[in-house]
Amino acid sequence: MTPPREAVEPLGAARRGAAILPPSARYLAIGAAIAVAVLLPAIATNFVIFQLTLAMIYGLAILGLNLLTGFNGQFSLGHSAFYGIGAYTTAILMDKIDLAYYWTLPCSGAVCFLVGFVFGLPALRLQGLYLALASFALAAALPQILKFQPLESLTGGVQGIVLIKPDAPAGLPFNPDQWLYYFTLAVLLVMFVGAANLVSSRTGRALMAIRDNPIAAAAMGINTALYKTLTFGLSALYTGIAGALGAIAVQFVAPDSFTFFLSISFLVGLVIGGVASIPGCLVGPTRRSRSATPAPTAARLPPTAQSGSARPRTSG
C-alpha cells in the first residue's frame, strides 16, 4: 500500500526540489554562491561580515541537528549543550594553555563526539517525545554545571571567559573580522561537503532507512544501535565545532549563553531551512544571526576584565 502523499511530503520536498536542476546547473549554482561568498567581504562593512560569520556558524550547528533529526529521525532538544561544550572547550584551551585557535576546533569536535556518543547509548531505548525530554534535560543541566563552584577555575563561573579575536596570518591583507569570515567559510565548506558525501553514501542510506522504518532496517541487517549512537556523536561533533567557531567570533563565553532557548533556535532554523535539506541549513540561521550578541564591550565585561587585572590571552 502506497503511503499518503502528506506523510512523505515534508522530508522529500528538498530532495525533489534539488532533482529539478541537472547536475551541471547545480554545480554552477554552488560555484556562483561560493564566488559571491568569497568576494563579499571586499564590499561589506565589518558589522555585516560579523553577522554573515555568525550565520555560517549557526548553519553548521543546524547541519549537525539535521543529520540527527532530518536524516536519522532522532528528535533532540539538547543541541545547545553540545554547542556550549564546543565553545567552552575552545575557550578553555585558548585561555588556559594558549593553544592556537585552529587547533581547538578538532579538540572541541572530539570532545563533543565523545559526549554525544556516550549520551546516545542510553538514548537507544528512547524515541520520539521521550528522547526529546532526555535531551532537554541535558540542555537544562549544562548552564548549571558550568556555574558549579569547583569548576570555576576552568569555566570562569558566571563571569565566563573573555577571548581575543585572532589576527590574520602575516602577509594576508585582512582585518580580524575578514580573516575569521574566510576561516569560517573554509571550515563550513569542508563540513558541508563531508555531510553531503555521507548522506549520498551507503551509510547515509542506512541512516535514512532507520529513520523511515527501524524494524525494516534491522531486518535488512543494519545495526540500528550502532548507527544511532554514531549519528548522535557525529551530530554533536558538527555542533561542537560550530560552538568553537562561535566562541572565537563572539570573543566571550558564559553559561547563560547556552540555554534551552538556543536549542529551540536551532530547531526553528532547521524547520525554516527544510528538514533533510543540506543547503537549507544556511537559510534558517539568517534571523538568528541578526539577534546575536556582538563582541562584549567594556560595559558588559566581567569586573575582572574591566579593571584589567585579568587580561585575555592571545592565541595563534
Structure confidence by residue, pLDDT tens digits, 296-313: 433 334 443 443 434 444
Q: Across the chain, what does the average pLDDT equal?
A: 85
Domains and CATH numbers, the chain: 29-307 (1.10.3470)
Q: What pTM did the predictor assign?
A: 0.84
- pLDDT for position 296: 42
pLDDT cut 90: percent of the chain above it: 68
- Which of the residue ranges 35-44, 121-130, 176-185 would you say has the lowest mean pLDDT? 121-130
List of residues 6+ apart from 125 with CB closer than 8 A:
none
State residue 311's pLDDT score: 41
Provide the CA 109 distance to its chain's centre, in angstroms. Answer: 10
Contacts by residues 198-207 (CB-CB < 8 Å, ≥ 24 positions apart): 198/67, 198/234, 199/67, 199/71, 199/278, 203/227, 204/71, 207/67, 207/71, 207/72, 207/231
Q: What is the pLDDT of residues 213-245, one digit of tens each?
A: 999 999 999 999 999 999 999 999 999 999 999
